[in-house]
Structure 1
Amino acid sequence: MLCKYLKDYAPERIKSVELLFPVVGHSFLPPDRVFAQIEKNIKKNEVITNPQDYYKIFNEHGTVLKLGSEIIVQDWKEASTEILKGTNAMHFSIKQCKRFFIKRNKQKLNVLVRAEESYHNALGTYKNICKKNKTVSLINPKNKHMNVAVKKEKRYDVIKFLKAHYGDQWELLPDLEYYKNVIQRSISDNSISYSNERCEMEEELPNLII
């Protein structure tokens, strides 16, 4: 993503990009501290039945932007597979490196990457990480669909759980509107209705020993 940004979108005054990773196992990023506070507040709620309850907590710590509507998610992994070399074919080991440097090549037709395993030394060399006859400009990710189909078995489990806790008329409760919409959206024209008898609570039978 940064390679394509530098090649196709960055202004000319930006000559290079440095990507720095903190110590493995330790995060010094301010957002991670915010996540910790959010998690702490979520745990104070015994039951959360709809996304709005999460949004209220998130809004206490920052601005909420919804994926799929306000933020478009793109599949960079799939788009870069045919363009970039595999990690085993690159001139450095990603797992061992702490700093990455990206710059345009002399012809400004592609980018070169240098990686360092320490925070101070400069022992690496700039090389191309694209496959033969490929450039980062060819990476054009497609937008990802945010709605994931719910499997039939999962639907039955969720409905069974909802009936056990909220009764057979759970779909009439306003707080459970989210689950109703997700279940209805995942049911195709040829599938069984979510009120099918298979969703009823099964009677427990005594163990049979032969």
Structure 2
Amino acid sequence: MSNYKPACTLIEAKHCIGASKESDQVDKGSYQQLVGKLIYLAHTRLDIAYLVGVLSQYMHEGDSLTVGIYTDVDYVGSVDDRRSTTGYCYLIGGNLVTWQSQKQRVVAQSSVEAEFRAMALGICEGIWIKNILNDLQIPMEGLITLFCDNQSTISIAHDPVQHNKSKHIEVGRHFIKEKLELGMFCTEYVSSTNQLADILTKGISVIELCKQRSKLGMNDIHAPA
């Protein structure tokens, strides 16, 4: 950029910037990546906050977005108190936006109970994100998909018959079943090797760690340019 001249201001005063369907198409992925970096920078750079806000308005182009959540559990993984660790990550339009890793408050009596607690926590987060998207008038494409690697949990969530083995998780089961019947969420089985939330529940090998980070869209800041 040796031939370029620096601008004295970040954005023109009294500007009139708006969306144009007749303008040339840009690389949507690159644009979102660049603006995403500026959003993080804006937390410590007061002078660019307004400009970043303007640029952020054109990140989605009005397209509908797919929303998915991966939930996973390391069942009784703690050797001290035998509590399970819950992990979930939310992707909007294929982009990671929110995640959490925490130890469950009580000891789960079964792996299904631990999975249900993780799924219920993910649904609560999903309802919050859905409300935010509605407030921003950003349309969603289809239902929020819950990706789980435990087929028993998915089966019990959809099965209206009360199982004796699941009496101790009835509240969580009915909460999840209610949201599924309302058409807010849908479940989908994902193999453990493709479970993106696995990185949030347990220690994994270097190879698996790099693979999971790549799938989550995380860039290695130490990689050569």
Q: TM-score range by the shorter chain?
A: under 0.3
Q: Which of the two has greater helix per residue? A: 2
Q: TM-score, normalised to structure 1's length? A: 0.24
Identify, as 1 or 2, the structure richer in strand. 2
Larger CA Rg, structure 1 vs 2: 1
The TM-score, its normalising length taken from structure 2, stands at: 0.22
